[in-house]
Structure 1
Amino acid sequence: MRRQLLWLRSDLRVHDNTALAAAAQAGPVIACYLLSPGQWRAHDDSPNKVDFWLRNLQALRHDLARLNIPLLLREADTWGQASEVLLQLCQTLGIAAVRVNEEYGLHESRRDEAVKRRLAEAGVGFHSHLDQLFFAPGSLLTRGGTYFQVFSQFRKLCYQRLASALPACLPAPPAQAPLDVASDPVPEELPGFAPSAAQAREFWPAGEKAAGERLAGFAEDDLAHYHERRDRPDLDGTSQLSAYLAAGVLSPRQCLHAALANNRGEFESGGPGPVAWINELLWREFYKHILVGFPQVSRGRAFRAQTEALPWRHAPADLEAWQQGRTGFPIIDAAMRQLLATGWMHNRLRMLTAMFLSKNLLIDWREGERWFMRHLVDGDLAANNGGWQWSASTGTDAAPYFRLFNPLAQSRRFDPHGRFLRQWLPELAQLDGESLHEPSRLGLFGAPGYPAPMLDLAASRERVLEAFRNLPGAESAQASTASRRSEGDA
């Protein structure tokens, strides 16, 4: 049996790792990871995310060592260098085949095709495996043979397929005989990627063990009430597993099995908490399929082409106020400060801050998408782009353009006691009641040390509605979108 090279990417675990399991069956395994700082910068990957990767690689190195699998690190500054770096490694180590778990996105696909061609020229195999999704893109299509553009229809077919053939979770492979290859040390930090979020390391402990404990705790203690608490940023009502899923420290199959185990094995029936959370796993799946079916979203383009004509404002001062949490709207500012401090933001607040930027401020959603990616520890192209385009009403299955969250009403509804606001806005901590949610009620100058609202909500709402109404074909497109949302989409 000849040596197999496991090329790790967004799959930093030994349990339920499809490519690792296949490699272990084919021959002795050596694992490798490519450090690509130039590519990460080009993709706006945040230093918080890179730091999380490195910390998980350190943990994975120990897990692989127990299996006698060495972990090698090589540098390919950009993905254009990956084929030569991997070929040289394969020739040095006597590798018969490279095993990978599939990744999605235009650049990822081009990288893997280039590597496959270069290895084939040298007689080295290249095998890719389905791992971070339940279903391969292109295997779930409409009756017309096209990719789904409406989540509710996509979800229905997912439920049918999963109920008839639930994907299993694979165990870690058994330890292999030791090899004469030593593992490389994993750097603590890379130049230019010092984490910017002071609390990120505390909030996101590394390793499969930490991820598994968080999943088990959520499934056991919080999943049943997920549907009731998921929109409350003042409560620990979400799973807080997104970073582990993005880095592949957990698989979606492990999450699904944990949910089903606490929902009597049921998908659409059973407890509303598990059903709501399974739907979130399927949203994640949906946006990955969109990347493949509609590659323009990987190119920074709007899914709905007509929305490229929106008259976005160039307003650097307003953009910076939003970025730094100085808008004068407490729920927006608290959310943005949470992002800066932890590298993470509650999902309800991601929608709320995205709508505020793209609709109230009428600033291009791509500015917000980029800012999020540059700070999120769980930054994921598909999910981040899908969420931003949904909020901005430019994407697939998007919110109707006339849907615009009111930050004051959202604050009162989802942080009724003001605990979240006080945590992130200490300058408002002494305020009570309506003054906390809307400090401008205190008078002309509002609360000391806190900015006045940067805009009039009613006027900004009318401005964005007028912008959408003036788009070509706006009435028919939005009528169709409104009809789809009324069908019960999540």
Structure 2
Amino acid sequence: MSKQLVWFRNDLRTKDNQALTTAVASGKPVLAVYLVCRHQWKQHHLAPIQADLIMRRLAQLQQDLALLNIPLLVVEIDSFNHVPRCLTELCQQYQISDVHCHYQYELNEQQRDNAVLSALSSNNVSLLQYHGECVMPPGSVLTKNRENFKVFTPFRKTWVSGLTEREFSPIAAPAAIDQALLPEAFLALLKNNSPLPCSYDRADSSKWTCDDPSIIQQLRDFSASKAADYKQDRDFPALAATSNLSAYLALGMLSPRQCLARIYLDHPHCLDAQEGGAFTWLSEIVWREFYRHLIAVNPRLCKGEAFLAWTQSIAWQQDLHLLQAWQQGQTGYPIIDAAMRQLKYTGWMHNRLRMIVASFLTKDLLIDWREGERWFMQHLIDGDFASNNGGWQWAASTGTDAQPYFRIFNPTTQAQRFDPNGDFVRHWVPELSDIPGKKVHQPHSWAEKNGHRLAYPLPIVDHAIQRKLALSLFEQAKKST
């Protein structure tokens, strides 16, 4: 009897997994595989903390699949170039007739899948792909002229209007396969308790849960108790007002359709009440899809190119001292330093702060947005190429639907608005813990008035001066193109 192979990628779940469900529905024995591509992880700047979460989740997934009588193989290889041969050999070894997986939209991943398709076809094995990363897959949300959207708001309007009840219904986990159908090789794999292979650097991710019941409960708790106030509370980093589900979405431990179904169940009028918190949170899911649609049809975004062609001419400054001060949270701007230290020590950063520090790097330090994009991916537990690239290009005014280049965040006024009492800053910048209230956002002014000596750097740049320089850089680039 031929067998089925499920190739797991960024879809590390048994629920709402069309590839897995379809393979099981075939009535044939199913084998699952995950490929650890260490060189590709390094090339893509995978954060060690995210690598750790992946491996912890794979150990959990292996247990979950075992309950379905599906063995999970974790195979470590060097790069995407080795994937076609690896999968072909697995198919030959276990008499696989069909390989099931979900689409990935990044350029390297598409090239890899094309090579796999060719290799499997040559061996009479089918590659069956499904859309699991998006509620509305690329190509399904288009303008009246059948073109892809370049601006978010009309994209969201069309995305919402295209929803049907089908999009609200996640697929349940499949029933267990009859163990009597399993060949001896599969039974032996189910009994194998060897450690999962991974030679990639890892950092402790244990503060992030990785089992389904805990993740689903976190989604339910947010939807029930915080979603309604999300719009008014989401921008204040000192509040625990966000869902903290981004890491699970990035790795496919949770699907966007599961999120949509839950928010709609608890807030059935959210699509009509677009001023409410539930719709505002739903919009974050739509942003995620918007950026995926963009990279699917604009492969140059995966090559480090700006979406707006003229911004390729910006003469970004190269100043290692300024870059390192930003990376280590030593800029002399408390909100910037607090945010960067949060990233360094937790692998996560509040979304409002991501915008503030990105604006600071590109508009105050005048450093190429790609440096920030790379640093984030190297440290984020929720690192996600499409969203990270889209967010950085938005802040740098080089991307689609970008913040206009003449709108530049003032880090001090942003801090005063979104951390009004300075609680977030004092938590992450303890050397400023004695400064009361909002005065913490201008610590040297307070210290001078109070005769206090601070063990904290002076601002590395003057925002007012840098703002003018940034405007000049953009204007020169625009004129020269």
TM-score by length of 1: 0.93
What does residue range 291-370 of structure 1 map to in structure 2 within 5 Å? 291-370=295-374
Deviations for 1:348-402, whole angstroms, at most 9, x for unmatched residues? 0000000000110000000000000000011000000000000000000000001
- What is the alpha-carbon distance in structure 1 between the residues aligned to residue 105 and residue 231 of structure 2? 30
- In the other structure, the counterpart of 2:242 is 238
Question: Structure 1 residue 104: deviation in Å?
Answer: 1.1
Question: Structure 1 residue 188: deviation in Å?
Answer: 6.6
Question: Structure 1 residue 223: deviation in Å?
Answer: 0.6
- In the other structure, the counterpart of 1:64 is 65
- What is the alpha-carbon distance in structure 1 between the residues aligned to residue 31 and residue 345 of structure 2? 37
Question: Structure 1 residue 167: deviation in Å?
Answer: 4.4
Size of the aligned set, in residue pairs, is 471
Instruction: Tell me which amino acid in the other structure corresponds to 1:93.
Output: Y
TM-score by length of 2: 0.95
Rate the CA distance shift 1:264–1:164 in 2: closer, same or farther, 3 A.
closer
- In the other structure, the counterpart of 2:206 is 201
- What is the alpha-carbon distance in structure 1 between the residues aligned to residue 341 and residue 452 of structure 2? 20
Question: Structure 1 residue 5: deviation in Å?
Answer: 0.2
- What is the alpha-carbon distance in structure 2 between the residues aligned to residue 240 and residue 189 of structure 1? 28
- In the other structure, the counterpart of 2:12 is 12
- What is the alpha-carbon distance in structure 1 between the residues aligned to residue 160 and residue 278 of structure 2? 14
Rate the CA distance shift 1:73–1:311 in 2: closer, same or farther, 3 A.
same
Rate the CA distance shift 1:265–1:62 in 2: closer, same or farther, 3 A.
farther
- In the other structure, the counterpart of 1:488 is none
Question: Structure 1 residue 435: deviation in Å?
Answer: 2.9
Partners of 1:354 and 1:392 within 8 A in 2 = yes
Instruction: Tell me which amino acid in the other structure corresponds to 1:38.
Output: H
- What is the alpha-carbon distance in structure 2 between the residues aligned to residue 446 and residue 145 of structure 1? 63
Partners of 1:133 and 1:285 within 8 A in 2 = yes
Partners of 1:80 and 1:111 within 8 A in 2 = yes
Instruction: Tell me which amino acid in the other structure corresponds to 2:429.
Output: L
Rate the CA distance shift 1:192–1:17 in 2: closer, same or farther, 3 A.
closer
Instruction: Tell me which amino acid in the other structure corresponds to 2:206.
Output: R
Partners of 1:246 and 1:379 within 8 A in 2 = yes
Q: Quick check: 1:262 aligned with 2:292?
A: no
Rate the CA distance shift 1:344–1:188 in 2: closer, same or farther, 3 A.
farther
Partners of 1:98 and 1:125 within 8 A in 2 = yes
Q: What is the identity percentage for the equivalent residue pairs of Structure 1 and Structure 2?
A: 44
Partners of 2:30 and 2:70 within 8 A in 1 = yes
Q: Secondary structure at the match of 1:162?
A: coil
- What is the alpha-carbon distance in structure 2 between the residues aligned to residue 377 and residue 330 of structure 1? 23
Partners of 1:18 and 1:131 within 8 A in 2 = yes
Give ranges in structure 2 of 5+ residues lacking alignment: none
Q: Quick check: 1:287 aligned with 2:274?
A: no
Rate the CA distance shift 1:270–1:158 in 2: closer, same or farther, 3 A.
closer
- What is the alpha-carbon distance in structure 2 between the residues aligned to residue 164 and residue 49 of structure 1? 34
What does residue range 452-467 of structure 1 map to in structure 2 within 5 Å? 452-467=458-473
Question: Structure 1 residue 472: deviation in Å?
Answer: 2.8
- What is the alpha-carbon distance in structure 2 between the residues aligned to residue 331 and residue 2 of structure 1? 59
- What is the alpha-carbon distance in structure 1 between the residues aligned to residue 147 and residue 206 of structure 2? 42
Deviations for 1:403-454, whole angstroms, at most 9, x for unmatched residues? 1111111111111121111111111111113431111213569752111111
Rate the CA distance shift 1:287–1:88 in 2: closer, same or farther, 3 A.
same
Q: Quick check: 1:147 aligned with 2:148?
A: yes
Q: Secondary structure at the match of 1:292?
A: helix
Rate the CA distance shift 1:447–1:268 in 2: closer, same or farther, 3 A.
farther
- In the other structure, the counterpart of 1:275 is 279
Question: Structure 1 residue 302: deviation in Å?
Answer: 0.5
- In the other structure, the counterpart of 1:76 is 77
Give ranges in structure 1 of 5+ residues lacking alignment: 478-490
Partners of 1:263 and 1:270 within 8 A in 2 = no
Q: Secondary structure at the match of 1:6?
A: strand
- In the other structure, the counterpart of 1:103 is 104
- In the other structure, the counterpart of 1:397 is 401
Rate the CA distance shift 1:201–1:347 in 2: closer, same or farther, 3 A.
same
Question: Structure 1 residue 473: deviation in Å?
Answer: 5.2
Instruction: Tell me which amino acid in the other structure corresponds to 1:35.
Output: V
Q: Secondary structure at the match of 1:100?
A: strand
- In the other structure, the counterpart of 2:478 is 472
